[in-house]
């Protein structure tokens, strides 16, 4: 079974530039999560989708971050404009709708903002 796919693996941008991350969840997983993991900290949930609807985006900085999940499969997370403090690993995870305790994580995208 293929895992959660994320791209790119690494990205370096200058502050005030924009960046986008892509995630392809495990086939059949209705729930998709984006987490931000700052170096030395645990992952923090940014947004949770159920199919293509947003379930929780309470910790998403909406003035600069946006995410979408068209057709309830792939998802993109965008940052515009980026700040230095956005440097982190962005993790995508997915699970079956009724098994949120069994979320599988992708390898993440490491973003460096200079």
Partner 1 sequence: QQQVKQSPQSLIVQKGGISIINCAYENTAFDYFPWYQQFPGKGPALLIAIRPDVSEKKEGRFTISFNKSAKQFSLHIMDSQPGDSATYFCAASNLRSGNTGKLIFGQGTTLQVKP
Interacting residue ranges for partner 1, rule: CB under 8 A: 4, 40-45, 48, 55-56, 91, 93, 100-108
86 phi and psi angles, rounded to 5 deg: -80, -5
CB of 16 to partner 1, least distance (A): 28
Structural contact between residues 97 and 30, judged by C-beta atoms closer than 8 angstroms: yes
CB of 17 to partner 1, least distance (A): 24
CB of 50 to partner 1, least distance (A): 9
Q: How far apart are CA 81 and CA 79, in angstroms?
A: 6
Alpha carbon 112 to its chain centroid, in Å, reads 15
Which CB, 48 or 79, lies closer to partner 1? 48
């Amino acid at each position: 079974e293929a895992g959660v796919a994320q791209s790119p693996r690494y990205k370096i941008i200058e502050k005030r530039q924009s960046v986008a991350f892509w995630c392809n969840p495990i086939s059949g997983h209705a729930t998709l999560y984006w987490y931000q993991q700052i170096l030395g900290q645990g992952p923090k949930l940014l947004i949770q989708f159920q199919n293509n609807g947003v379930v929780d985006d309470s910790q998403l900085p909406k003035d600069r971050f946006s995410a979408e999940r068209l057709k309830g499969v792939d998802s993109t997370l965008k940052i515009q404009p980026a700040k230095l403090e956005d440097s982190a690993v962005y993790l995508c995870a997915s699970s079956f709708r009724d098994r949120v305790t069994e979320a599988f994580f992708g390898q993440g995208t490491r973003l460096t903002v200079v």
